[in-house]
Amino acid sequence: MAAALFRDLLERHGGDREWQVSSAGTWAEPGLPASSGARAAMIERGLSLEAHRSQPVTGDLLATQDIVLVMGAGQAEAIGAEFPGVASRVHLLSALAGPAYDISDPIGGTNAAYRVLADELRGILERGYAKLVSLLPATPRARREADGERPEPDGA
């Protein structure tokens, strides 16, 4: 949901052509669709998760990312432990808009819980947009790669 909401925010701010947004889970099983609660919450906001398929965090994926946003400190710690070279690019999503805290994942919860999370994520992304943009490099990693720069996978 955070990736879909961030893409929407970028589109509204005109940055959707510059940045690529990916979604991955620290302990995700690959290839699964978004939960029905997440899909319903996004549909209510005019967004779709129908094409979404889960993917785990990998060194190769992290090598293509300029910033890594996580919902909880445990995820940040796990990524930093497995991929130490990326630790400086890992940030708690909540810290973009105020004090850092773990954002609860409503996995297996009610549609109402997903709606609450969607509102929370949208609020954080909107309030934290300027800070998030300030964390991103002037030239996106994807464009640097197209120009011949090849990042090395961190911790791989």
Assess whether pLDDT exceeds 70 at residue 60. yes
pTM: 0.85
Q: Give me the pLDDT at residue 153, please.
A: 52
Q: For 3-53, how does the pLDDT look when each residue is reduced to its tens digit (9 = 90+)? A: 999 999 988 887 666 778 899 998 899 999 999 999 999 999 999 999 999
Q: Give me the pLDDT at residue 154, please.
A: 47
Element (H, E) at 134: helix 129-135
CA distance 139 to 4: 22
Q: Is 133 strand, coil or helix?
A: helix
Domains of the chain: 2-145 (3.40.50.2300)
Residue where the block lists tokens 């300029």: 66
Mean pLDDT of all residues in the chain? 88
Cβ-count burial 44-64 (b if 16+ within 10 Å, e if not): eeeeebeebeebebeeeebbe
Task: Please tell me the least confidently modeled range out of 13-17, 31-35, 100-104, 147-151.
Answer: 147-151
